[in-house]
Amino acid sequence: MNLSRFRSSALIRRLKSNPLLLILSITVLSRLIYLCWDYPLWWDSHIYIGLGKYIFSAGEAGIWEPFRPLVHPFILGLLWKLNLNVIIIGKIMDIIFSTFSVFLVYRITQKIYGQNTAIFSSILLSLTPVFIMFTGLILTEPLALFLGLLGAYYFFKEPSQKNLFLGGLFGGLSFLTKFPMGILFLAMISAILISKKTPMSPASNCYRILFLTLGFLTPLIPYLILNYFLYQDIFLPFVVGSWIVTTATWFYGSGWTYYFDHFFLGNVLYLLFLPAVILFLKRKEWQDYRRSTLFLASILILAYFWYLPRKETRYLVLALPSMAILTGEFISYLYSKTKARQKQVLKPLAFVVLFGILLLFPLPLSLDMERPPTFEKEVSQVIKVHNIDGEVLTSDPAFVSFLNQPIVTLDGMGFSTRIYEQQKGKYQLIFLNHCYLACPPEDTNCLTQKKQFLSRIYSENTLEFTTSFKNCTYAILLPKS
């Protein structure tokens, strides 16, 4: 009993003396708890797993979409090729990448702003609901943020050839994990050009840009060469990706106030980002290339996603580390002002408690997501009974994560009829989710086409299973002999 109490008190003392250890413990624990809710994977999650299978099976399994970056799918595909459980390990990797991202934010902030700001910034990032939400979804963002922050960490160190090259290298890998992360590289270059407090002359700034760019191009050039051999167009993934985010905008959020309504009002501490920007400008912090990099990364990423017609709150996770650092510095500034006042309206302890309340308040509602049904067991059973080993045609890519055979998606009403015609005689099973064959509101032509398409599917195939959930109908069909 006494030994157990001694060990507990020793642990508490260690946590108090090492705030980073406490913050990382909170980061891991909060994500382990969130994993227990076992939310289903998203559309994009299955696509990335499918891309990995396609890469390591030479196209015999999985799925291919040319506009997707390849670093994350490559890792997932390697796990699959090694006969490891991609979903379980993928969820573990989400925790690892998120935890290391928090660690890097702490270290970067500690070096630039000091320990108080590092504590506020890292705990703010760690417990931001939209960041926690990525745990277990096996999406690209946790890895992209980790690589981007690792690049920033080396970029902010002493400007040696090695550090600059590594900063660019990890920045390039981050870009090839999530294309908008290329904005971080742009912020680095811009910060070098506009900053005054650099340890080098204008001539040596060119030297810094050179080695940073060489690092960035090291993974990028092989990717561009691959694009040429695959598509005869080195920029095709970027062009198609830029087009994709302008389509089906009616299915997503829209409007200039969307992110203010759906992110900032729901995460009230980030409302302090605006006064943080004012404080940054008032102090002329753009003269420090490290601080101006963080500022530019925040502003440019926010501006990019604010400009896109298709809006989702999850997009802003790419701006969270730099926003959390600037916001954390403003919170630290308020905290120091509170402690310095002779007549304290708010005691320092009360300030910290208020910070904790405002930080934790959004978590329960923000992390509560809908659980649509999955039909892995039903599809697997039909495949087993009918000895199916060929192509699966589906409106939902989820089965690419569970099946080791070619998957072709119908890609919405805009393409479904053409894809169905192309795959006739090739597919051995069809899975339909009527809600994934969606039409724009009040588009009567699309609704008519959908009705005709579904009628044709059901008449030319044999229905094996059907059910409904809310307003969605699900069906498994086999081609008629």
- CATH number, domain of 416, equals 3.40.190
Task: State how far the Cα of 76 lies from the Cα of 93, in Å rounded to an integer.
Answer: 10
Task: State how far the Cα of 457 lies from the Cα of 473, in Å rounded to an integer.
Answer: 14
- For residue 462, which phi and psi values (nearest 5 degrees)? -100, 125
pLDDT at position 197 is 58
- Judge if 343 and 404 occupy the same domain: no
- Cβ pair 394, 408 in contact under 8 A: yes
Residue 190 host element (H or E): helix 182-194
- Final residue before a domain boundary, out of 342, 366, 390: 366
pLDDT at position 2 is 56
Number of domains making up the chain? 2
Pairing of the two strands 461-469 and 472-479:
antiparallel
pLDDT at 314 over 70: yes
Q: Tell me the three state secondary structure of residue 39.
A: coil
- Judge if 215 and 271 occupy the same domain: yes
Q: Tell me the three state secondary structure of residue 235.
A: coil
Residues in CB range of 198: below 8 A, 6 or more apart: 159, 192, 205, 208, 289
pLDDT at 9 over 80: no
pLDDT at position 145 is 98
- Judge if 432 and 286 occupy the same domain: no
- Judge if 46 and 105 occupy the same domain: yes
CA-based end-to-end distance of the chain? 73
Kindly report, residue by residue over 457-473, the tens digit of the pLDDT: 999 999 999 999 888 99
pTM greater than 0.85:
yes
Q: Judge whether 371 lies within some domain.
A: no
Kindly report, residue by residue over 105-142, the tens digit of the pLDDT: 999 999 999 999 999 999 999 999 999 999 999 999 99
- Judge if 320 and 384 occupy the same domain: no
Kindly report, residue by residue over 403-416, the tens digit of the pLDDT: 888 889 998 888 89
Tell me how crowded residue 144 is: count the other CB atoms within 10 A of its CB.
Answer: 27
- Judge if 340 and 400 occupy the same domain: no
Exposed/middle/buried for residue 193 (C-beta within 10 Å: 0-12, 13-18, 19+): middle
Residue of 40 and 215 predicted with greater confidence = 215
Question: Which of 33, 39, 32, 20 minimizes the C-alpha distance to 372?
Answer: 39
- Judge if 181 and 226 occupy the same domain: yes
Pairing of the two strands 391-394 and 407-409:
parallel
Range of the domain at 47: 2-366
Q: Judge whether 141 lies within some domain.
A: yes
- Cβ pair 164, 188 in contact under 8 A: no
Task: State how far the Cα of 258 lies from the Cα of 253, in Å rounded to an integer.
Answer: 7
Q: Judge whether 220 lies within some domain.
A: yes
Q: Judge whether 293 lies within some domain.
A: yes
| CA–CA distances in Å: residue 213 to residues 131, 158, 221, 297 | 29, 17, 11, 17
Tell me how crowded residue 64 is: count the other CB atoms within 10 A of its CB.
Answer: 17
Residues in CB range of 271: below 8 A, 6 or more apart: 264, 265
- Final residue before a domain boundary, out of 366, 385, 412: 366
Residue 462 host element (H or E): strand 461-469
- Judge if 392 and 465 occupy the same domain: yes
- Judge if 391 and 451 occupy the same domain: yes
Task: State how far the Cα of 213 lies from the Cα of 301, in Å rounded to an integer.
Answer: 20
Q: Tell me the three state secondary structure of residue 431.
A: strand
Dihedral angle sign, alpha carbons of residues 383, 387, 388, 390: positive
Q: Judge whether 207 lies within some domain.
A: yes
